[in-house]
Structure 1
Amino acid sequence: MFKNYLKIAWRNLTKNKGYTIINVGGLALGMAVTLIIGLWINDELSHNNYFKNKHKIAQVFQSQTFNNNTGTGPAIPLPLEPTLREKYNDNFELLVMSSWTNQQYLEYKETNIARFGNFMQVDAPELLELKIIKGEKDGLREVNAIMLSASTASALFGSENPIGKVIKVNSEHDMMISAVYEDMPYNSSFNELQFIMPWKHYVATNEWIENSLDNWGNNSFQLFAKIADNTTMERVTNTIIDVKKNSNEDTAEFNPQIFLLPMDDWHLRNNFENGKQVGGRIKYVWLFGIIGVFVLLLACINFMNLSTARSEKRAKEVGIRKSIGSQRGQLINQFLSESFLVVAFAFVISVLIVLLSLNGFNELARKEIEFPWGNPMFWIISILFILLTALLAGSYPALYLSSFKPVDVLKGTFKAGKYSGLPRKILVVLQFTVSVAFIIGTVIVMQQINHAKNRPIGYDKEGLIQVPTFSEDFTGKYQLMREQFIASGAVVEMSSSSSPTTRIWSNRSGFDWEGKPEGFQEDLAWTEVSPEYAKSLNLKIVQGRDFNRDMATDSLGVLINETAVKYMGFENPIGQLIRDSDEENPDPPLKIIGVVEDMIAQSPYEPVKQGMYVFDRENESSYYNMRLNPDQSANQNIAIIERVFKDNFPAIPFQYDFIDEEYSEKFAAEQRIGTLSGIFTALAILISCLGLFGLTSFVAEQRTKEIGVRKVLGASVFNVWNMLSKDFLKLVIISCFIAVPIAYYVMNGWLQEYPYRVILKWWIFALAMLGAMAVTVLTVSFQAIKAAKSNPIKSLRTE
């Protein structure tokens, strides 16, 4: 029986090739979008699945309140770790202190490379479940040991066995390879962990860390934990939440709250607002999931519309089948088998589309998704997906067509009925409601991105590069290097800074100044810079003056930004003193010598943070900032800079970043979402237009004789075009008026997440409506004009 259903279904599909192509093509596009979104969602949801015990792994987070504003992050003080070990050890199986992931220079013989890694405590390999390829898992027990990822070991040693060999780190420390571990996968939080060095080495080689052993106010570290088997994340959090507040009176005023953020939440739910967890990338998972469902729904609507629209052509078939004994259930099965055949073909084509587009999608989405050929679960889900789609697309046509009465059909008195086209009209309205809402949403996302991009950033990012200076080799050589780089002709100005231009690495409190309100809890961004910082960035001085290297007093000078002036309540900031509030061992007071224009160093969607630029007295910078010679090409300048760099630092790999590219990275997530949304919107519109094209073709075919009569009676091409187009245009206009309030509500809610946001303008909605109507007119016009220009004699020949 099923074989017979498929034979008849195949004949019907091959008999009506045009409609089959539209049906299969539309479904294939819809299914391809749904498949690729499904693969993307699976990749997001499977983040950190590499770790078998990820439900027990957490990072220790901290919330602190400054002037009624609560900030949350993973930065914690060093004394927290021994306190948790001593007082709350029963709650934890493992505790691992860690530095931030930073770049280091690794050298072996003539090979010099730069890689990212961490200093971590001895239990890190166990907590991270490292898969050791060579060496020992407890490879961090020796103070001068280092563990390398497989790719890093290969880059340094090739095919040699690296175990026991000694490399030089930052041209300063000799470290022995104790183990080689498998690289972490791309969709894990530790995918950049290319080496691990012992925490003991970090403490022994950095005096400031030793000074932080009892300092609860220095939040410069990370702490990872694996909880005990007999407890839960929530229970541990409730136990340790006030540990810092109870352990240190000096920081208690900030109401520090310590809690665990489970590994499950690191990627998808890591956003906090005023101390509360408010989601994160999970919103994009929901967004694309909804888009996938709606795009597939649009494709299914096409199938429903074309199937029911052609009902009169299949009415006699239904009548004959019923008159010779076919039951309604058999007819339903027949039409569902046709649906299944179409969906099966569409699925095969959709897989081909996904395979052809996957590399481009990965590049756009910054993923490494592979098609899951060998995953049985994928094929089980795919079969269920095909069956569900076939049922969704074919159920209404099957129920509708199988309901025809054989007597009416065979007598020729069958009429579809006054309201038979109403379901099709409703479905067309639904299609274009979704499409118009997608258009509006995409336009607003791109508007928000451009709004932030066009925001004044306070400095000139064009022609500006930064070079990392993490090695001890750079210490004390800033002035020499500045002279050499400028003398080379490739650099017109250079400065150094303790943070990259596009980020804030340090925030400080504990200051007093004249007029500071009683109980005011300050939080200031802190950047140590060389005197040429403002000149190299073309940072505008709006009050006072810049640093002057020839003035000895400027070593205690400070520049503050415009936001800091308002934040600190200064009317005349120049000459004001900022004092250390530490009464026992205070630092010398800093004197404000100038005010610089606000520069964006954090998110361009957020207000600029109050900041201080302090004279770098220790001359221990993290970056060189170089303004390239505008009279030469960037490539020429970089080649000269690299030559000068290598002459002075032959053992250090030359690395640099263009600041404009680094700044663009701040928009990367929203840009990718906007671009992907735009592509999916375009495909949604294409699918809707395919359905509209098919419906228009059928209506024109249905009304061939009517068009012929009208033309004989003098109707113009425009009259016929208007007759065929206006009904569809009305449906699209209705769709627009439904879509606009829905899109406004959703997108206005999305924009509330951004303090610096675009204002919704009426023209965005008008443009989307006009665009939808224009696309409708173009789609309908092809068939309408074709029908209007046909020879009426041919259509009326049989009358």
Structure 2
Amino acid sequence: MAPPPLADRLLRFFCAPHRLEEVQGDLHEEFAYQVEQIGERRARWRYWRDVLGFIKPPTGWSFAIKRKSEAYSTTHLINPVMIRNYLKIAFRSLTKNKAYSFINISGLAVGMTVALLIGLWVYDELTFNTYHENYGRIAQVMNQRTVNGEILTNHGVSIPLRKELQSQYGTDFKNILLASWTTRHILTFGNTKLTKMGNFMSPETPELLTLKMLKGSRSGLQEPSSILLSESVAKALFGSVNPLNKLVKIDNQLAVKVTGVYEDLPYNSDFQELLFIAPWDLYVSSTGWVKQAQDENEWAQNSFQIFVQLAEKATMEAVSEKIRQIQRGKGDKDEDKFNRELTLYPMSRWHLYSDWTNGINAGGRIEFVWLFGIIGLFVLTLACINFMNLSTARSEKRAKEIGIRKAIGSRRRQLISQFFSESFLVVGIASVLALLLAQLSLPFFNDVASKKMIIPWVSPFFWAFGLGFCLLTGILAGSYPALYLSSFQPIKVLKGTLLGIGNRRMAVIPRKVLVVLQFTVSVTLIVGTIVVYRQILHAKNRPIGYNREGLIMMRIYTPDIHDHFDAVHDELVKTGTVVSIAESQGPPTDIWSMNTGFNWKGKDPSLQTEFVTVGVSHDYGKTVGWKFSAGRDFSRTFSTDSSGIVINKAAVKFMGLKQPIGEAVLWNDRRFNVIGVVDDMLMSSPYEPVKQAVYFIQRRSAPFVTIRINPTASATQALQAIETVFKKYSPSSPFNYDFVDTEYALKFATEERIGTLASFFAILAIFISCLGLFGLASFMAEQRTKEIGIRKVLGASVLNVWGLLSKDFVLLVLIAFAIASPIAYYFLDNWLQKYDYRTDISWWIFAASGAGALLVTLLTISFQSIKAALMNPVKSLRSE
């Protein structure tokens, strides 16, 4: 119903413009209330009376509003006194109800802590690589090949590509640089020897990465025998001495001069491990096979990296399309069968979009950003739900207070302000606790998430965001209680009819919905945690084709060990701590080389061949523990083994060989004979199919040594013996080693991190939900004290009373379980689809999750239920 339009026009004429909206809103609200109470006709007369009471004739051109009463003027104006009174009342309410206050504050504090930690993590992920000023214009050139209908994308490209890009599309690029791979190298100065991660790169690298130089300049790599060191490496090598112009040796072979020191790159940069940079030309001049790869026809040697910085007017999409076909017709004709193409991979996508599927760059860590962002929002929402539930549950106690305050002139917006002040006070206290909890738990969180995050205490942006976050949380937590409680009608409240049976039932429905929402989230997180850990366990139990127990591997940087390999082998075996030792081109836990050019009898001419190729010494199979399904291992007694190969079962299947032993295989026109077939040796991801592999005798120096420790000897004794022998033959190299089982375990790091964080958040979600349940159970027990007393007098047992108070909550958890199960199944099934080797989602996972949630619920509410059931009925009924 609309108020009288003439009265409204009169009000607009006489009322001051800056007060019109406020006064008119109040009168309209009062009119709507009067229509409901006394009917429209009488309400219109009262509306006229109120309008005439608020205005007075104009004096000149100034207009004023006549105050209806002193109460109206003091309660309608937002002023410091009123705010202070609101906070004072809110504080008294908190101290009066200590148990509810503790539940609200602790729940919100935990929820805000989780949201803060996840917020820091998400910010760290989204700002990855932004340390580099050219972040938006840097890209890596990626190589794409179509192998048997599938487009494979990798980082490796050839050296001649750089010259081709410069000659044909030089105007589209500001910088084009070549780089090796960031690997460990030995840095030596005097008696100090360090093994650090570094790279050989073009002189433009410091400019492209916008390194912050602490000493020297970005042009330091222009000198052919120079090196740039990170701040931490320079300090480790030289201490407080100025490192400029000092001579350092790389891998005990290359003498270089320090021409600059740059600030350590941050942990959230893909170049975080770039601890030193040496000139690309030095790499070429000191490495024979790299010098060979510089030939303009060596387009098949895709063992290098190219990074580019686009020119100002060039766009990533346009340049990527221009260079796509640049490799066509270059080099070996057989390579053209793979339909080779190039694409630019922007730095802005390196970290969050690292997955390539059939030539399309989509997915990666961005999925985790969304996942944990949603979890953080849900956990905070659970805490806000507790506040809403407990506030509305206590509405009966506050109903008369609200009715009296409305009867003496309080307006609804005034009551809303009061309830919001209580919400903001709780959020303010909780936010202080949340900051403290976040600071205390940050080391643990960094360790689990593999981060180096800090809380930016001095950042104005952090405090502005934090204030906005608190306001948003306060509004979220206090909105429903404020709107719900302020809507009580004073006549019904004071008559005692507001919370009759019908109204009471309607009042609990929103609380039940919120409890269901809480446990839906909790059950979903529990199911997700179990599935993640089952997937990890499923992959860990996968056969790996060799025995990694007691196996260590070492990266060799100098030829000393290779040149004296037989002597090293004999001395180590004589110690009794080592069973065997072997060399290989790559580590047992990774693929370092893939090659094409294979042919055999009966091969389908259209089949494109690409094999993992691993050069090994004779004792490699014995050392790693190969399991032969056919044929034999390499042996020094057979001179023909120099042209023999061992293949895995995946290769037999790929080649379609029925009798592989003795089969002739041509590799780039060189003939090899299959002498053995081994079980698939898992070298790449444990979640992917094993690739077809070929093992052959490697004659030249290999970069890896693998050693099998005698199971009867202790690891400490074995390592001491190995170090003694290695120091004897390579005294200038530091003794560094890795256990193969430790390196293999790193393949599960990402999934284990997800599982640990998911379980951590699931526990906190259940904790917050149980806090709310505990408060609601306490309130229900208090509300039904007299009913329980009567039931006990009439003969009800403790079990009867416990069932009475528990059944409603049990039903809500069962409803939540029914909602959570299909939701969890849908998202987890989609997550598992990205793994070729994956577990299944069994029914018992949902049953166990539901039973666990139900058990936790019963334990939570049983304390209050049993406490109420054991209460003396005489005390409960004394007031009657």
For residue 651 of structure 1, the aligned residue among 719, 726, 732 is 732
Q: Report the alpha carbon displacement of residue 473 of structure 1 after superposing the two structures with TM.
A: 2.7
Find the partner of 1:522 among 609, 620, 635: 609
The normalised TM-score by structure 1 is: 0.98
Which among 78, 98, 103 is matched to residue 184 of structure 2? 103
CA distance in 2, matches of 1:17, 1:72: 61
Partner-residue secondary structure (3-state), 1:419: helix
Does 756-765 or 166-175 show the bigger shift? 166-175
| Equivalent position to 1:638, from 702, 709, 719 | 719
Q: Give distance in 2, aligned partners of 1:758 and 1:8.
A: 56
- Counterpart mapping for 1:136-175 below 5 A: 136-175=217-256
CA distance in 2, matches of 1:479, 1:82: 44
Pick from 610, 625, 644: which aligns with 1:557?
644
Q: Among residues 522, 529, 543, which one is paired with 1:435 in the alignment?
A: 522
**Which amino acid counterpart does residue 570 of structure 1 have in structure 2?**
L
1:671-722 alpha-carbon deviations (Å, 9 max, x no partner)? 0110001000000000000000100000000000000000011000000000
**SS of the residue aligned with 1:243?**
coil
Q: Look up the match of 2:347.
A: 263
Structure 1 residue aligned with 2:845: 764
Instruction: Please state if 1:219 is matched with 2:288.
Output: no
C-alpha distance in 2, partners of 1:428/1:721? 19
After superposition, the C-alpha distances for 1:425-482 in whole angstroms (9 at most, x for unaligned) are 0111111111101111111011101100111111111111001112233342222211
Which of 541, 546, 549 is matched with 1:454 structurally? 541
- Separation of aligned partners in 2, 1:275 and 1:796: 76
Cross-structure match for 1:747: 828
Unaligned runs of 5+ in 1: none
Matched, 1:342 2:342: no
SS in 1 for 2:695: strand
Query: Matched residue of 2:293: which SS?
Result: coil
Partner residue of 1:298 out of 382, 407, 414: 382
* Structure 2: distance between partners of 1:195 and 1:798: 82
Secondary structure at the counterpart of residue 605 of structure 1 = coil
- 1:601 corresponds to which of 683, 697, 704: 683
Match of 1:537 in 2: 624
Partner letter of residue 679 of structure 2?
E
Question: Per the alignment, in what secondary structure is the counterpart of residue 420 of structure 1?
Answer: helix
2:199–2:276 Cα contact (<8 Å) kept:
yes
Q: Which moved more, 1:218-227 or 1:69-78?
A: 69-78
Q: How far did residue 142 of structure 1 move?
A: 2.0
CA distance in structure 2 between the aligned counterparts of 1:538 and 1:568, rounded to whole angstroms? 24
Report the equivalent of 1:282.
366
Q: Is the 8 A contact 1:104 1:471 kept in 2?
A: no
How far apart, in 1, do the equivalents of 2:355 and 2:558 lie?
34
Displacement of 1:564 after TM fit? 0.4
Residues 620-635 of structure 1 correspond to what in structure 2 (within 5 A)?
A: 620-635=701-716
Question: Which residue does 1:615 correspond to in 2?
Answer: 697
Distance 1:43 1:471 in 2: 39
Within 2, Cα distance between the matches of 1:469 and 1:449?
Answer: 32
User: How far, CA to CA, are the matches of 2:355 and 2:784 in structure 1?
Assistant: 58
Shift of 1:246: 4.7
Q: Which residue is 2:9 aligned to?
A: none
Task: Give the TM-score normalised by structure 2.
Answer: 0.89
Q: Where does residue 199 of structure 1 map in the other structure? A: 280
Q: Can you list the C-alpha shifts for 1:398-419, whole angstroms capped at 9, x where unaligned?
A: 1110111111212233315031
Greater RCO, 1 or 2 (C-alpha within 8 Å, sep 6+): 1
2:462 paired residue among 356, 366, 378: 378
After superposition, the C-alpha distances for 1:28-85 in whole angstroms (9 at most, x for unaligned) are 0101000000001111111111101100111111111100011111111111110000
Does residue 1:77 correspond to 2:158, yes or no?
A: yes
Deviations 1:141-168 (A, max 9, x none): 2221111111111111111222112122
The answer as to whether partners of 1:490 and 1:632 remain within 8 angstroms in 2 is yes
SS class of match (1:107): strand
Paired residue type of 1:423: P
Shift of 1:485: 1.5
Please name the residue that 1:393 is paired with.
Answer: 477
For residues 35-184 of structure 1, the aligned pairs below 5 Å read: 35-184=116-265
What is the match of residue 21 of structure 2?
none
Letter of the structure 1 residue corresponding to residue 306 of structure 2: L
Q: Which whole-Å CA distance do the structure 1 matches of 2:585 and 2:680 have between them?
A: 18
Per-residue CA shift, 1:267-321, capped at 9, x if unaligned? 1111100111121111000000000000001001000000000000000110110
Q: Are 2:114 and 1:27 equivalent residues in the alignment?
A: no
Q: Which of the pair has more CA radius of gyration?
A: 2
Q: Report Cα offsets for 1:606-658 as digits up to 9, x if no partner.
A: 0011101111122x111110111211221121122112211221111000000
User: Alignment partner of 2:222: what SS?
Assistant: coil
Which residue of 2 is the match for residue 228 of structure 1? 311
Letter in 2 for 1:218: Q
Greater Cα shift, 475-484 or 758-767: 475-484
Deviating more after overlay: 120-129 vs 29-38: 120-129
Bigger mean CA offset, 510-519 vs 713-722: 510-519
- In 1: Cα distance, 2:642 partner to 2:605 partner: 29
Change (3 A) 1:753 1:97: same
Equivalent in 418, 421, 443 of residue 508 of structure 2: 421
Amino acid corresponding to residue 737 of structure 1 in structure 2: A
Alignment partners' CA distance in 1, 2:498 and 2:256: 89
Given that residues 560 and 729 in structure 2 are in contact (C-alpha distance below 8 angstroms), is that contact kept between their aligned partners in structure 1? no
Separation in structure 2 between the aligned mates of residue 595 and residue 537 of structure 1, nearest angstrom: 15
| One-letter identity of the residue aligned with 1:282 | I
Q: Distance in 2 between matches of 1:411 and 1:201?
A: 93
Q: Which residue number in structure 2 is paired with residue 685 of structure 1?
A: 766
Is the contact between residue 144 and residue 342 of structure 2 (CA under 8 Å) also seen in structure 1? yes
Cα deviation, 1:231-256, whole Å, max 9, x if unaligned, reads 11111101111111254544221111
Give the drift of 1:519: 1.9
The answer to whether the 8 Å contact 1:171/1:473 transfers is: no
SS of corresponding position for 1:177: strand
Matches of 1:401 and 1:168, distance apart in 2: 76
1:353 is matched with 437
> Contact 2:403 / 2:491 at 8 angstroms: preserved in 1?
yes
Q: 2:322 aligns with which of 230, 234, 239?
A: 239
1:230 CA displacement: 0.5
The SS at the match of 1:635 is helix
Distance in 1 of aligned mates of 2:379 and 2:583: 51
**CA contact under 8 A between 2:645 and 2:673: conserved in structure 1?**
yes
Instruction: Quote the residue 1:410 is aligned against.
Output: 494
Counterparts of 1:49 and 1:790 in 2: how far apart (Å)? 63
Residue type at the aligned position of 1:54? Y
Q: Which residue of 2 aligns with 1:273?
A: 357
Q: Given that residues 171 and 472 in structure 1 are in contact (C-alpha distance below 8 angstroms), is that contact kept between their aligned partners in structure 2? A: no
Structure 2: stretches of 5+ with no match in the other structure: 1-81
- In structure 1, what residue type is equivalent to 2:169? Y
- Which portions of structure 1, spanning 4 or more consecutive aligned residues, are displaced by more than 4 angstroms? none
Please say if residues 543 and 574 of structure 1, whose CA atoms lie closer than 8 Å, have aligned partners that are also in contact: yes
Does the CA contact (< 8 Å) of 2:561 and 2:568 recur in 1? Answer: no
Distance 1:713 1:399 in 2: 41
Mapped to 1, the partners of 2:664 and 2:169 lie a distance apart of 43
Superposed CA deviations along residues 76-129 of structure 1, whole A, max 9, x for unmatched, are 111111000000101100001000111111111111111111111111111111
Structure 2 residue identity aligned to 1:605: Y
Whole-Å separation in 1 of the counterparts to 2:747 and 2:445: 20
Among 78, 86, 89, which residue is 1:8 paired with?
89
